[in-house]
């Protein structure tokens, strides 16, 4: 089945630094990838839709200058949390869909970010 690889699985960083999270579709091409954030005991929140070769589409309330998304190829999207603060600590999950009708979303394993 379709596999989405996300790296790193966890990261601890100091306040003010930047963190990059990678999302790769291993056995299919993904023109669109999605980035979610999930706080403890809450549901998934869509942050942005990453489109290969063009700018990402951000959801309302998500700062595009803080959460930089780059979709450089059909198999790779990156999310960079810039100037991280403790309130950015969360579980970040990427997902991708195969480019065929009615294909489900496949999720990466998520990245747990802790900002100290």
Positions in the binding site for another protein (CB under 8 A): 6, 34, 43-44, 46, 91, 93, 102, 104-110, 112
* Smallest distance, another protein to C-beta of residue 79, A: 14
* Smallest distance, another protein to C-beta of residue 102, A: 6
**CA dist 87 to 53, 91, 111, 112, Å?**
30, 12, 15, 13
**CA dist 51 to 42, 72, 114, Å?**
26, 9, 27
- Strand-pair partners of 51: 32
- Of the pair 45, 76, the CB lying nearest another protein is at 45
* Smallest distance, another protein to C-beta of residue 100, A: 12
């Amino acid at each position: 089945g379709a596999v989405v690889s996300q790296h790193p699985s966890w990261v601890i960083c100091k306040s003010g630094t930047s963190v990059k999270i990678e999302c790769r579709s291993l056995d299919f091409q993904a023109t669109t990838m999605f980035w979610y954030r999930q706080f403890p005991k809450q549901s998934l929140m869509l942050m942005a839709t990453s489109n290969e070769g063009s700018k990402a589409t951000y959801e309302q309330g998500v700062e595009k200058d803080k959460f930089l998304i780059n979709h450089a190829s059909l198999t790779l999207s990156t999310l960079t949390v810039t100037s991280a603060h403790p309130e950015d600590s969360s579980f970040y999950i990427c997902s991708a869909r195969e480019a065929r009708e009615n294909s489900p979303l496949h999720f990466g394993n998520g990245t747990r970010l802790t900002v100290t």
